[in-house]
Amino acid sequence: MTADPQPLSATRPTPIGRWWLRNRWEELAFVHWAYEPEVVQRMLPDGLTADTHNGMAYVSLIPFRMADAAPRFVPAIPWLSTFAETNVRTYVIDSAGNRAIWFFSLEASRLPIVAFARWLLGFPYVWGDLAIEESIVDGCERRRYVTTRRRWPRRPESTTDLTIEIGDPIAEPSDLDVFLTARWGTVAEWPRGSGTMRHHPVDHPQWHLHEATLVNYDDTSVEAARFQPPIGDPFVRWSKQTEARFARPTRI
Protein backbone atom coordinates (compact mmCIF):
# COMPACT_ATOMS: atom_id res chain seq x y z
CA MET A 1 0.00 0.00 0.00
CA THR A 2 1.25 3.49 -0.87
CA ALA A 3 0.84 6.27 1.67
CA ASP A 4 -0.78 9.55 0.70
CA PRO A 5 1.78 11.87 -0.92
CA GLN A 6 3.24 14.67 1.12
CA PRO A 7 2.03 18.18 0.22
CA LEU A 8 4.35 20.28 -1.90
CA SER A 9 6.11 23.13 -0.14
CA ALA A 10 8.79 25.66 -1.16
CA THR A 11 10.52 25.03 2.18
CA ARG A 12 10.95 21.74 4.02
CA PRO A 13 7.92 21.28 6.32
CA THR A 14 10.06 19.86 9.15
CA PRO A 15 13.86 20.17 9.36
CA ILE A 16 15.79 16.94 9.18
CA GLY A 17 17.31 15.64 12.38
CA ARG A 18 20.91 14.57 12.61
CA TRP A 19 22.56 15.04 9.21
CA TRP A 20 25.70 13.24 8.07
CA LEU A 21 26.59 14.68 4.64
CA ARG A 22 26.80 18.25 3.33
CA ASN A 23 26.99 19.75 -0.17
CA ARG A 24 26.89 23.17 -1.74
CA TRP A 25 25.27 23.27 -5.17
CA GLU A 26 26.44 26.14 -7.40
CA GLU A 27 25.66 27.51 -10.87
CA LEU A 28 22.65 25.26 -11.38
CA ALA A 29 20.78 25.12 -14.65
CA PHE A 30 17.34 23.49 -14.56
CA VAL A 31 16.12 22.29 -17.96
CA HIS A 32 12.77 20.48 -17.74
CA TRP A 33 10.66 18.70 -20.36
CA ALA A 34 7.11 17.42 -19.99
CA TYR A 35 6.42 13.75 -20.78
CA GLU A 36 3.29 11.66 -20.65
CA PRO A 37 3.17 9.98 -17.23
CA GLU A 38 3.02 6.46 -18.65
CA VAL A 39 6.28 7.08 -20.55
CA VAL A 40 8.10 7.96 -17.33
CA GLN A 41 6.35 5.24 -15.33
CA ARG A 42 7.75 2.54 -17.63
CA MET A 43 11.25 3.65 -16.66
CA LEU A 44 10.70 3.42 -12.91
CA PRO A 45 11.30 0.45 -10.61
CA ASP A 46 8.48 -1.17 -8.65
CA GLY A 47 7.35 0.87 -5.67
CA LEU A 48 7.73 4.28 -7.31
CA THR A 49 4.98 6.28 -9.02
CA ALA A 50 5.63 9.09 -11.48
CA ASP A 51 4.58 12.38 -9.87
CA THR A 52 2.65 14.77 -12.12
CA HIS A 53 1.81 18.44 -12.45
CA ASN A 54 -1.35 19.29 -14.41
CA GLY A 55 -1.37 15.74 -15.74
CA MET A 56 2.23 15.68 -16.99
CA ALA A 57 5.40 14.05 -15.66
CA TYR A 58 8.77 15.76 -16.10
CA VAL A 59 12.30 14.70 -16.99
CA SER A 60 15.04 17.19 -16.13
CA LEU A 61 18.63 17.81 -17.14
CA ILE A 62 20.50 19.55 -14.27
CA PRO A 63 24.14 20.58 -14.76
CA PHE A 64 25.87 22.37 -11.87
CA ARG A 65 28.97 22.59 -9.71
CA MET A 66 29.22 20.59 -6.50
CA ALA A 67 31.30 22.21 -3.74
CA ASP A 68 32.16 21.46 -0.11
CA ALA A 69 31.04 17.86 -0.54
CA ALA A 70 32.05 16.02 2.63
CA PRO A 71 30.72 14.11 5.62
CA ARG A 72 29.84 15.97 8.79
CA PHE A 73 32.86 17.06 10.87
CA VAL A 74 35.21 16.30 7.96
CA PRO A 75 36.88 19.29 6.27
CA ALA A 76 36.43 19.66 2.53
CA ILE A 77 39.35 18.55 0.37
CA PRO A 78 39.75 21.24 -2.33
CA TRP A 79 40.23 18.99 -5.37
CA LEU A 80 38.01 16.15 -4.26
CA SER A 81 35.14 18.16 -2.76
CA THR A 82 34.53 20.51 -5.70
CA PHE A 83 33.62 19.26 -9.18
CA ALA A 84 31.19 19.61 -12.06
CA GLU A 85 28.16 17.34 -12.19
CA THR A 86 25.22 16.71 -14.51
CA ASN A 87 22.19 14.60 -13.70
CA VAL A 88 19.08 13.36 -15.49
CA ARG A 89 16.17 12.95 -13.11
CA THR A 90 12.43 12.70 -12.67
CA TYR A 91 9.93 13.25 -9.86
CA VAL A 92 8.32 10.38 -7.98
CA ILE A 93 6.16 9.38 -5.05
CA ASP A 94 7.52 6.43 -3.10
CA SER A 95 5.53 3.89 -1.11
CA ALA A 96 5.95 5.96 2.08
CA GLY A 97 4.39 9.00 0.40
CA ASN A 98 7.67 10.91 0.00
CA ARG A 99 7.71 13.22 -3.04
CA ALA A 100 11.26 12.58 -4.09
CA ILE A 101 13.74 12.61 -6.95
CA TRP A 102 14.73 9.52 -8.91
CA PHE A 103 17.98 9.73 -10.86
CA PHE A 104 18.47 8.01 -14.20
CA SER A 105 22.11 9.11 -14.30
CA LEU A 106 24.55 11.36 -12.48
CA GLU A 107 27.84 12.28 -14.12
CA ALA A 108 30.71 13.72 -12.10
CA SER A 109 34.33 14.55 -12.80
CA ARG A 110 35.81 12.90 -9.66
CA LEU A 111 36.26 9.12 -9.76
CA PRO A 112 36.43 8.65 -5.94
CA ILE A 113 33.07 10.43 -5.57
CA VAL A 114 31.56 8.27 -8.31
CA ALA A 115 32.79 5.06 -6.68
CA PHE A 116 31.58 6.12 -3.20
CA ALA A 117 28.10 7.13 -4.40
CA ARG A 118 27.61 4.06 -6.63
CA TRP A 119 28.76 1.38 -4.19
CA LEU A 120 27.79 2.80 -0.81
CA LEU A 121 24.65 4.83 -1.62
CA GLY A 122 23.26 3.16 -4.74
CA PHE A 123 23.14 6.22 -7.00
CA PRO A 124 23.86 5.58 -10.72
CA TYR A 125 26.94 7.80 -10.90
CA VAL A 126 29.20 7.90 -13.96
CA TRP A 127 32.74 9.26 -14.20
CA GLY A 128 33.08 11.79 -17.01
CA ASP A 129 34.84 14.89 -18.31
CA LEU A 130 32.73 17.94 -17.41
CA ALA A 131 33.27 21.70 -17.39
CA ILE A 132 31.35 24.92 -16.71
CA GLU A 133 32.21 28.13 -18.58
CA GLU A 134 31.05 31.62 -17.59
CA SER A 135 30.71 34.51 -20.05
CA ILE A 136 28.94 37.80 -20.70
CA VAL A 137 27.41 38.42 -24.14
CA ASP A 138 25.81 41.78 -24.93
CA GLY A 139 25.69 42.55 -21.23
CA CYS A 140 23.91 39.28 -20.34
CA GLU A 141 25.40 36.50 -18.21
CA ARG A 142 25.68 33.09 -19.78
CA ARG A 143 26.71 29.65 -18.57
CA ARG A 144 27.94 26.85 -20.79
CA TYR A 145 27.86 23.28 -19.45
CA VAL A 146 29.91 20.68 -21.32
CA THR A 147 30.33 16.93 -20.89
CA THR A 148 32.70 15.60 -23.53
CA ARG A 149 32.68 11.90 -22.70
CA ARG A 150 31.89 9.21 -20.19
CA ARG A 151 35.03 7.56 -18.85
CA TRP A 152 33.49 4.84 -16.63
CA PRO A 153 31.13 3.14 -17.17
CA ARG A 154 31.39 4.13 -20.84
CA ARG A 155 28.05 2.69 -21.93
CA PRO A 156 25.68 4.10 -22.82
CA GLU A 157 27.67 6.92 -24.37
CA SER A 158 26.50 10.46 -23.70
CA THR A 159 27.61 14.04 -24.26
CA THR A 160 26.18 17.42 -23.24
CA ASP A 161 26.80 20.92 -24.57
CA LEU A 162 24.24 23.48 -23.49
CA THR A 163 24.33 27.21 -22.91
CA ILE A 164 21.80 29.28 -20.99
CA GLU A 165 21.34 33.01 -20.63
CA ILE A 166 20.47 34.12 -17.11
CA GLY A 167 17.47 36.39 -16.72
CA ASP A 168 15.75 38.25 -13.90
CA PRO A 169 15.28 36.87 -10.38
CA ILE A 170 11.90 35.29 -9.69
CA ALA A 171 10.23 36.99 -6.73
CA GLU A 172 7.52 34.38 -6.26
CA PRO A 173 8.01 30.83 -7.58
CA SER A 174 5.16 29.34 -9.56
CA ASP A 175 3.45 26.08 -8.66
CA LEU A 176 5.52 24.39 -11.36
CA ASP A 177 8.75 25.88 -9.94
CA VAL A 178 7.92 24.39 -6.55
CA PHE A 179 6.97 21.03 -8.06
CA LEU A 180 10.28 20.76 -9.93
CA THR A 181 12.74 22.10 -7.37
CA ALA A 182 11.31 21.77 -3.84
CA ARG A 183 12.00 18.08 -3.32
CA TRP A 184 13.03 17.06 0.18
CA GLY A 185 14.59 13.71 -0.58
CA THR A 186 15.96 11.34 -3.17
CA VAL A 187 15.35 7.63 -3.69
CA ALA A 188 17.99 5.09 -4.64
CA GLU A 189 18.14 1.31 -4.93
CA TRP A 190 20.68 -0.15 -2.53
CA PRO A 191 22.25 -2.60 -2.71
CA ARG A 192 22.11 -2.02 -6.47
CA GLY A 193 20.03 -4.69 -8.17
CA SER A 194 18.37 -5.78 -4.92
CA GLY A 195 15.01 -4.06 -5.45
CA THR A 196 15.35 -2.44 -2.00
CA MET A 197 14.59 1.30 -2.06
CA ARG A 198 16.02 3.80 0.38
CA HIS A 199 14.90 7.38 0.91
CA HIS A 200 17.59 10.01 1.53
CA PRO A 201 16.10 13.08 3.29
CA VAL A 202 17.59 16.44 2.29
CA ASP A 203 17.21 19.95 3.66
CA HIS A 204 18.18 23.26 2.06
CA PRO A 205 16.93 26.87 2.00
CA GLN A 206 14.21 27.91 -0.41
CA TRP A 207 15.56 28.20 -3.94
CA HIS A 208 16.39 31.65 -5.32
CA LEU A 209 15.53 31.06 -8.96
CA HIS A 210 16.12 33.17 -12.06
CA GLU A 211 14.41 33.19 -15.39
CA ALA A 212 16.66 31.60 -18.00
CA THR A 213 16.74 31.03 -21.74
CA LEU A 214 18.25 28.06 -23.53
CA VAL A 215 20.68 29.53 -26.08
CA ASN A 216 22.29 26.30 -27.31
CA TYR A 217 21.35 22.68 -26.73
CA ASP A 218 23.18 19.58 -27.92
CA ASP A 219 22.67 16.66 -25.58
CA THR A 220 22.30 12.88 -25.65
CA SER A 221 22.09 12.18 -21.90
CA VAL A 222 18.28 12.12 -21.88
CA GLU A 223 18.32 9.62 -24.75
CA ALA A 224 21.01 7.62 -22.92
CA ALA A 225 18.42 7.25 -20.14
CA ARG A 226 16.25 5.48 -22.78
CA PHE A 227 13.83 8.33 -23.41
CA GLN A 228 12.83 9.57 -26.82
CA PRO A 229 14.45 12.94 -27.62
CA PRO A 230 12.61 15.77 -25.84
CA ILE A 231 9.95 17.57 -27.88
CA GLY A 232 9.06 21.24 -27.56
CA ASP A 233 10.59 24.10 -25.65
CA PRO A 234 11.87 23.21 -22.17
CA PHE A 235 11.01 25.03 -18.95
CA VAL A 236 14.33 26.63 -17.93
CA ARG A 237 15.54 28.12 -14.66
CA TRP A 238 18.89 28.99 -13.06
CA SER A 239 20.11 29.40 -9.47
CA LYS A 240 23.39 30.73 -8.10
CA GLN A 241 23.73 28.30 -5.19
CA THR A 242 22.22 26.65 -2.14
CA GLU A 243 23.55 24.70 0.84
CA ALA A 244 22.25 21.17 1.36
CA ARG A 245 22.33 18.68 4.23
CA PHE A 246 21.49 14.97 3.96
CA ALA A 247 20.20 12.71 6.71
CA ARG A 248 20.97 9.03 6.75
CA PRO A 249 18.83 6.98 4.34
CA THR A 250 15.90 4.90 5.54
CA ARG A 251 14.46 1.79 3.90
CA ILE A 252 11.01 2.22 2.34
Residue 40 confidence (pLDDT) above 80: yes
Better-predicted residue by pLDDT, 4 or 204: 204
pTM: 0.96
What radius of gyration, in Å, describes the C-alpha atoms of the chain?
17
Q: How far apart are CA 243 and CA 29, in angstroms?
A: 16
Give the structural domain span for 89.
19-251
Q: What is the reported pLDDT for 224?
A: 96
226/156 Cα distance (integer angstroms): 10
The answer to whether position 7 is within a domain reads no
pLDDT digits (tens, 9 = 90+) for 79-113: 999 999 999 999 999 999 999 999 999 999 999 99
Asked whether residue 14 is assigned to any structural domain, the reply reads no
DSSP 113-135: HHHHIIIII---EEEEEEEEEEE
Residue 224 lies in a domain: yes
Q: How many domains in the chain?
A: 1
With beta carbons less than 8 A apart as the criterion, state whether 24 and 66 touch: yes
User: Which class for 62: exposed (0-12), middle (13-18), buried (19 or more C-beta within 10 A)?
Assistant: buried
pLDDT-above-90 percentage for the chain = 92
pLDDT of 1 above 90: no
pLDDT beyond 60 at 201: yes
Q: What CATH number is given to the structural domain containing 133?
A: 2.40.400.10
Task: Give 145's contacts (C-beta < 8 A, 6+ positions apart).
Answer: 29, 63, 84, 86, 130, 131, 132, 160, 161, 162, 163
Per-residue pLDDT of 207-233, as tens digits, reads 999 999 999 999 999 999 999 999 899
